[in-house]
């Protein structure tokens, strides 16, 4: 999970695939912006790679970033997961 390149498959062949890829790219961009600043966040690329979308980051996401300074929605999910509970 902690890498610099992420792939989002085009499963349905509809706009929902692109929207999912955009949402993942936005989430990763926010993580970079909070932990590395605006320059790193601006370097996130979302590309159409045929059968999937490719999200390229300037550096890998680090595990410690997920445990600190997260937007509230993300923090709730990770904290519940650590506790063994499910996220609604």
pLDDT tens string 22-32 = 999 988 888 88
Q: What pLDDT is recorded for position 75?
A: 54
Q: Across the chain, where does the E strand assignment appear?
A: 5-9, 45-48, 52-56
| 13 neighbors 52 (Cβ within 8 angstroms) | no
Separation of CA 8 from chain center = 11
Q: What pLDDT is recorded for position 65?
A: 80
Q: What does the block give as tokens for 54?
A: 């490719």
In the chain, where the domains are located: 5-83
Whole-number average pLDDT of the chain: 81
Per-residue pLDDT of the chain (88 residues; tens, 9 = 90+): 689 999 999 999 999 999 999 999 988 888 888 888 777 667 899 999 999 999 999 999 888 887 765 555 555 555 555 555 554 5
């Amino acid at each position: 999970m902690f890498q610099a390149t992420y792939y989002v498959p085009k499963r349905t062949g509809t706009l929902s695939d692109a929207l999912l890829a955009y949402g993942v790219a936005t989430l990763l961009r926010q993580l970079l912006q909070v932990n590395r600043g605006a320059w790193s966040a601006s370097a996130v690329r979302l590309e159409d790679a045929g059968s999937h979308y490719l999200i390229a980051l300037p550096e890998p996401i680090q595990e410690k970033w997920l445990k600190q300074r997260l937007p509230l929605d993300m923090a709730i999910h990770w904290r519940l997961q650590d506790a063994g509970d499910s996220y609604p």
